[in-house]
Amino acid sequence: MRASGRVGYAVVGLGRIAERAILPAFRNSKRARLVALVSGDDHKAKRLARQFGAEDFFSYDDFAFCLSHPKVEAVYIATANQLHAELTERAAAAGKHVLCEKPMATSVEGCLGMIQACRMNSVRLMVAYRKYFEPASLALKKLVESGKLGRLKFMHSAFTFCLAPRKKGADWHLDRKLSGGGSLVDVGVYSVNSARWLAGLDPAEASAFAWTTAPARFNEVEENIAFRLNFSGGLVLQATAGYGAAQASFLQVCGEKGWAGLNPAYAYDEERRLFGKIQGRWFEKRFRVIDEFALELDAFAGCVRSRGRRNSRSLDPGIFSYSTEFFLPSPAASMLLRSTNRLKTKGQFRLGPGIPLAEEISAGRDARNGLYGLGVSGAPRWED
C-alpha cells in the first residue's frame, strides 16, 4: 500500500445515494480519489465512470478483478444491506480497506465476520456515519461536553421521508432478506447513534412500537417506528423513524440548565440551525450546506494512511468490541432487534441478558411475527 498521496477508492453499488452523494464527493475530497466502480448495470457503470472520472468499472461477477486493481486501496460499499458482509470479507481478503454504508450487516454474525476478516488481514473497517464530521453536529457535541446544558435528562429525535413506490422493478428496501429491516435500520440509526455519541453512553433498555397505514406494501419491514432508549443515570431518548411522512429530521437535547435543538439534523443537503436556551438566554447559529461525504471519505483515507493511530470502543457489551479509528454504531439496534436468548415474561420480551423489550403489536398483526415484523426466532436481522 502507498504510504502517501490520495487513497484510491472503488465504489461498489451505484444506487441513489452513490449517484447523488458519494460519487460527487470525490470532486471535493482532499485525500481520496475515485478509481473504479462496481455495479450490476454495465450501462449505468459506464455512464457514471465517464461522468465522475473513474478509470475502470466492473460487474459484480468481476468484483475479484476490481479487487486486484493495483490502484484500488479501499472500497466504499453502498449496495443492498444483505451484501455488506460478503463484499467486506472479500475485500479484506484481498487486502483492501472497507468503508461500508450502514447498517453494517443484516445479522450479528455478519458483523462478526466482517470484523474478523478485517482484523485477520490488517485492514481498516469503518461504517459510514457522516455526522461525526459535520460542523453543526460537532458544535452540538461540544456544547453538551461543555456542561452548559447541565446534566442531560432526555432527548427527542426523528428522521422521516416518503419512500415512494418505484416505477420499475422491486424496491429492496421492502424486502426483509435484502434490507434487514425498514425505517429503523435505514434512518432510525441516526437518532440512535447521535444519542449515544452525544451522551457518551450506551443504552441499557429499549422499547418500541411499529405501525403502518399500508400493510400490503410494508408486510415484511416496518414503515414507521417509535422507540425509547433508557440510559444509565436516568437519561431517556424518545425517537421516531418513518417511511411514510415528508422528509424531516430533528434532534433536541434537554438538560437541567438548558436545551439545544438541531433542525434539520440528519439530511446532508440542507442548511442546519442549532438553537436553544441556556439559563433563560436564547442562542441560534446557522450552518451552511457542505459536502459531508467528502469529509467522510477524507477521514477514512486518513485512517488508511495513519496506520499507527487507533481508538477503541465497544460495539456491543457481551458480544464484541472492535478497535477502529471511529467507533461503529450501535448496540442499541441489537437491543431492539436481537432475537437470541429471547424469553417472554409478563408481556415483555428479553433480548439478551437483562435487556427487556416491551412488545406492542398493532391491531391485526400476528404476534408470532414479533416487534416490527422483523422476526423473533432464528438469527438476528440487523446490527448497525
Please state the domain extents for the chain: 7-129+293-323, 132-289
Q: Name the percent of the chain lying above pLDDT 90.
A: 77
Instruction: Give every strand in the sheet of 125-128, ordered side by side.
Output: 56-59, 32-39, 7-12, 74-77, 97-101, 125-128
Q: Using alpha carbons, select from 153, 154, 158 the residue that is nearest to residue 226.
A: 158
For residue 129, the model assigns a pLDDT of 92
Q: Which three cell numbers stand for residue 220?
A: 415484511
DSSP letter assigned to residue 383 = B
Q: Which three cell numbers stand for residue 42?
A: 454495465
Q: Which residues contact 52 (CB under 8 A, 6 or more apart)?
A: 23, 24, 26, 27, 34
Cβ burial, residue 55 (10 Å; 0-12/13-18/19+): middle
For residue 307, the model assigns a pLDDT of 67
Residues of the chain with pLDDT under 50: 1, 311-384
Identify whether the C-beta of residue 229 lies closer than 8 Å to the C-beta of residue 189: no
For residue 167, the model assigns a pLDDT of 84
Q: Which three cell numbers stand for residue 350?
A: 428479553
For residue 169, the model assigns a pLDDT of 83
Grouping H, G, I as helix, E, B as strand and the rest as coil, residue 112 is helix
For residue 168, the model assigns a pLDDT of 83
* Residues involved in catalysis: 102
For residue 367, the model assigns a pLDDT of 25
CATH superfamily of 132-289: Dihydrodipicolinate Reductase; domain 2 (3.30.360.10)
Identify whether the C-beta of residue 84 lies closer than 8 Å to the C-beta of residue 179: no
For residue 2, the model assigns a pLDDT of 62
Per residue in 56-108, pLDDT (tens digit) is: 999 999 999 999 999 999 999 999 999 999 999 999 999 999 999 999 999 99
Neighbours of 219 (CB within 10 A): 13
For residue 306, the model assigns a pLDDT of 86
Q: 143-176 burial by CB neighbour count: b if 16+ within 10 A, else e?
A: bbeeebbeebebbbbbbbbebeeeeeeeebbbeb
Grouping H, G, I as helix, E, B as strand and the rest as coil, residue 183 is helix
Strands 32-39 and 7-12 turn out to be parallel
- Asked if the domains 7-129+293-323 and 132-289 are classified in one and the same CATH topology, the answer is no
Q: Which three cell numbers stand for residue 245?
A: 411522512
Dihedral (C-alpha) 286, 291, 297, 303: value to the nearest 10 degrees? -20
Q: Quick one: fold of 7-129+293-323? A: Rossmann fold (3.40.50)
For residue 253, the model assigns a pLDDT of 98
For residue 355, the model assigns a pLDDT of 34
